[in-house]
């Protein structure tokens, strides 16, 4: 029994076979023996070099057999071009038409072509495109052809193109090629066609403004539309109700606060809706358009403290530089400077680096710079970024020459010249010399400089008023203790009617800030030196004379007289030297005493600055008054007798009184002095 058991255990066990194995001997389930590779395992695999595959052409031999011969470079290029053309024909439905239009476009866009010839070519192109315009308008080739056709075609042909494109305007508004055709159509559209274009935009304004391309179309329509159409585009950005119901948007009120009260809208709901509209736009950086600036300024008028602070935080920096070229954009910039924190103001000032020159030349940009030099307490940063850049172009700013050596994406030199804004470069300088003077800022600009956000200003207004009152009390007590200060205050009393007190956004004393920026930075010295070198040119300039006058008088409050007395005397000598030049009859250039602008500037200096009056009399007019007693120069002579300073009038009375008695010099009746014995 034990032997049997041993035999049974020693037998090898057989594997269970698949019953289907015999039926299908070629089945993949059957195992095959593995072949042992003769190659070593660790040997690296060598890459097989594949030579350049040449293109061969088929050539028949004498025996009739075809042989492949390699093609030349020229033949390969032609063959590749044929393949490309075939592929484009398969992919583009109107490829052949586009090629024909491109050939016509090359002819019609030439400048030296005759009008009749161009009209024939345009008519031919429009006939070829008829019925297919919506399909080819989004092509980068066809859209250019259509733009040229719309520009030069007749009104009948233009109307036909407009009617064909009208159902598809909304689609084309967000196409990067068709957008140029849409804007060209709007430029040449009639009032009826413009209304037909703006009407379908209702309900899509917010979504298109979030689109980089679509926002350009909305801005173009906003610029071309009348007041009612602009209001319609704005209304649906204010509230969901105004977006859904078009009839509610047709109201006369333009300000958002008035719209809310008129339609009984909930202020919180409006604020939430506007936040949902504005935030994606700001996140994408689409801030160049006037319609967005208008929406932002209206939003800040109703926003709560947190929302307004978030908007200011988002805009503070390079984004703000792209906004200050418009009226509402500059107002937003002023609000950001006034209500921003020290960190945010630092970002704004640093964002202007490299663009200060062009910003100063721009009408609205100069207001933001004027606000910065009047508000920001970090005078070292302002002097380093703003003042230093202004110092390098002082002559260009004062003489209103466009400064073109710095780069700015939004504000171009051509834009400045087209909009007539080349008379504003001097205003940041005038703001430092004579702050908030209404002679240099219009009432609307003064209102912009005095703007504030109610939600951010409500809490701190009482504290600001208390601080301002205490500072005024300290200044008045200091002036009472110093006779010199009292005299200066009385001299400024005449200019108080022309100066508007604005709420300062900074905590630093305005006089200290002004002293640090104007005198401490070296700007005043460089400005006086420039005026001394170019005295005659500035006197004859319509705008440069204002800077010359402010510099020669020592600035508001005599801020320059204490530290730059010698430089001011040199400036007075330079002006008097120009006035002392002999009168030449044959010269085409008028004498400064006979020129309209310069004679009035010199007259004003005589009335307001006794030191200059004495210098001018001794160097230019003493013993020569008779030859200057007629014309514009007589106003300068009469100013000596009209001066409130007794020393000035006494200086000239001895020589001028005989001229008055002889009737050579005539004074206004009210200002004639009493004839003493």
pLDDT tops 80 at residue 619: yes
Cβ count near 469 (within 10 Å): 10
Residue 163 CA to chain centroid, in angstroms? 36
Confidence of residue 263 (pLDDT cuts 50, 70, 90): confident
Q: Which two tokens stand for residue 507?
A: 């905590």
Q: How many CA atoms lie within 13 A of 18 on its CB side?
A: 11
Q: Which two tokens stand for residue 461?
A: 């207004």
pLDDT tops 80 at residue 672: no
pLDDT tops 60 at residue 419: no
Instruction: Note the pLDDT of residue 568.
Output: 94
Instruction: Note the pLDDT of residue 13.
Output: 52
**Better-scored residue on pLDDT, 352 or 631:** 352
Instruction: Note the pLDDT of residue 367.
Output: 94
CA angle (226, 362, 413) in 5-degree steps: 95
Contact 201, 170 (CB under 8 A): yes
What percentage of the chain reaches a pLDDT higher than 90?
Answer: 44
The size of the chain, in residues, is 677
Instruction: Note the pLDDT of residue 412.
Output: 36
Q: Which two tokens stand for residue 573?
A: 């000598």
Instruction: Note the pLDDT of residue 370.
Output: 94
Q: Which two tokens stand for residue 134?
A: 């919506």
Contact 575, 614 (CB under 8 A): no
Of 84-93, 172-181, 188-197, 267-276, the range with the lowest mean pLDDT is: 84-93
Mean pLDDT of 277-305: 94
From residue 632, give the alpha-carbon distance in Å to each of 416, 536, 639, 673.
34, 17, 12, 21
SS3 60: strand
Rounded CA-CA distance 607/592 in Å is 17
Contact 327, 366 (CB under 8 A): no
Confidence of residue 140 (pLDDT cuts 50, 70, 90): confident
Q: How do strand 66-70 and strand 56-60 relate by DSSP bridges? A: antiparallel
Instruction: Note the pLDDT of residue 43.
Output: 52
Q: Which two tokens stand for residue 283?
A: 């996140």
Contact 251, 234 (CB under 8 A): no
Confidence of residue 249 (pLDDT cuts 50, 70, 90): low
Which candidate, 609, 584, 586, 589, places its Cα nearest to that of 536? Answer: 589
Cβ count near 277 (within 10 Å): 21
What percentage of the chain reaches a pLDDT higher than 70?
Answer: 76
Rounded CA-CA distance 183/172 in Å is 10
Confidence of residue 16 (pLDDT cuts 50, 70, 90): low
pLDDT tops 90 at residue 458: no
Contact 218, 209 (CB under 8 A): yes
Instruction: Note the pLDDT of residue 192.
Output: 92
**Better-scored residue on pLDDT, 85 or 453:** 453
Instruction: Note the pLDDT of residue 328.
Output: 94
Instruction: Note the pLDDT of residue 162.
Output: 92
Confidence of residue 505 (pLDDT cuts 50, 70, 90): low
Using CB atoms within 10 Å of the CB of residue 204, give its burial: 0 to 12 exposed, 13 to 18 middle, 19+ buried.
middle
Contact 205, 229 (CB under 8 A): no
pLDDT tops 50 at residue 475: no
Instruction: Note the pLDDT of residue 47.
Output: 52
Average of per-residue pLDDT values in the chain: 79
CA angle (486, 565, 513) in 5-degree steps: 65
Contact 416, 358 (CB under 8 A): yes
- Which of the 8 DSSP states describes residue 516? I
Instruction: Note the pLDDT of residue 413.
Output: 36
Mean pLDDT of 105-126: 90
What pTM was estimated for this model as a whole?
A: 0.76
Q: Which two tokens stand for residue 99?
A: 């090629």
Q: Which two tokens stand for residue 34?
A: 């593995």
């Amino acid at each position: 029994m034990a032997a049997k058991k041993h035999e049974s255990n020693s037998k090898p066990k057989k594997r269970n076979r698949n019953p289907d194995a015999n039926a299908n001997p070629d089945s993949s389930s059957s195992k095959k023996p593995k072949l042992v590779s003769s190659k070593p395992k660790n040997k690296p695999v060598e890459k097989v070099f594949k030579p350049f595959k040449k293109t061969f052409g088929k050539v028949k031999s004498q025996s009739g057999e075809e042989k492949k011969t390699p093609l030349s470079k020229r033949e390969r290029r032609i063959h590749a071009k044929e393949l490309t053309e075939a592929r484009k024909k398969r992919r583009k439905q109107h490829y052949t038409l586009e090629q024909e239009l491109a050939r016509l476009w090359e002819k019609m866009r030439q400048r030296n072509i005759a009008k009749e010839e161009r009209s024939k070519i345009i008519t031919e192109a429009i006939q070829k495109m008829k019925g297919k315009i919506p399909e080819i308008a989004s092509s980068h080739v066809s859209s250019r052809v259509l733009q040229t056709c719309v520009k030069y075609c007749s009104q009948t042909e233009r109307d036909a193109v407009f009617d064909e494109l009208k159902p598809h305007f909304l689609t084309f508004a967000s196409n990067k090629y068709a957008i140029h055709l849409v804007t060209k159509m709007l430029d040449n559209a009639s009032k009826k066609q413009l209304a037909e274009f703006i009407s379908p935009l209702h309900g899509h304004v917010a979504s298109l403004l979030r689109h980089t391309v679509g926002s350009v179309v909305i801005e173009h329509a906003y610029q071309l539309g009348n007041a009612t159409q602009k209001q319609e585009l704005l209304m649906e950005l204010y509230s969901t109700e105004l977006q859904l119901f078009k009839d509610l948007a047709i109201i006369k009120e333009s300000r958002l606060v008035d719209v809310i009260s008129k339609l009984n809208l909930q202020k919180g709901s409006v604020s939430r809706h506007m936040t949902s509209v504005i935030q994606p736009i700001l996140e994408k950086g689409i801030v160049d358009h006037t319609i967005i600036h208008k929406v932002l300024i209206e939003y800040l008028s109703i926003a709560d403290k947190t929302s307004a602070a978030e908007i200011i935080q988002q805009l503070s920096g390079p984004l703000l530089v792209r906004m200050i070229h418009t009226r509402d954009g500059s107002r937003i910039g002023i609000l950001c400077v006034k209500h921003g924190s020290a960190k945010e103001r630092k970002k704004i000032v640093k964002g202007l680096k490299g663009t200060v020159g062009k910003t100063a030349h721009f009408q609205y940009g100069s207001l933001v710079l004027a606000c910065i030099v009047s508000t920001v307490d970090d005078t070292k940063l302002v002097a380093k970024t703003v003042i230093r850049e202004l110092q390098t172009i002082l002559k260009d700013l004062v003489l209103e020459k466009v400064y073109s050596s710095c780069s700015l994406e939004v504000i171009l030199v051509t834009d400045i010249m087209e909009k007539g804004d080349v008379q504003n470069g001097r205003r940041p300088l005038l703001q430092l010399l004579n702050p908030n003077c209404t002679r240099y800022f219009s009432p609307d600009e003064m209102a912009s400089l005095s703007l504030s956000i109610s939600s951010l200003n409500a809490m701190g207004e009482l504290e600001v008023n208390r601080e301002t009152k205490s500072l005024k009390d300290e200044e008045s007590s200091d002036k009472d203790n110093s006779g010199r200060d009292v005299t200066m205050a009385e001299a400024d009393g005449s200019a108080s009617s022309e100066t508007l007190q604005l709420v300062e956004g900074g905590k630093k004393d305005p006089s200290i800030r002004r002293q640090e920026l104007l005198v401490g930075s070296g700007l005043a010295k460089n400005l006086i030196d420039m005026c001394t070198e170019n005295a005659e040119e500035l006197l004859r300039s319509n705008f440069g004379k204002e800077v010359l006058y402010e510099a020669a008088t020592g600035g508001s409050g005599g801020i320059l007289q204490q530290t730059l007395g010698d430089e001011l005397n040199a400036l007075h000598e330079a002006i008097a030297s120009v006035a002392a030049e002999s009168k030449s009859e044959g010269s085409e250039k008028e004498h400064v005493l006979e020129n309209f602008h310069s004679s009035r500037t010199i007259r004003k200096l005589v009335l307001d600055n006794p030191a200059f009056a004495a210098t001018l009399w001794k160097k230019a007019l003493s013993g020569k008054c008779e030859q200057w007693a007629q014309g514009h120069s007589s106003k300068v002579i009469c100013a000596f007798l009209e001066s409130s300073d007794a020393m000035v009038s006494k200086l000239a009375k001895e020589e001028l009184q005989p001229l008055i008695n002889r009737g050579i010099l005539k004074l206004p009746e009210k200002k004639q002095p009493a004839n003493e014995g």
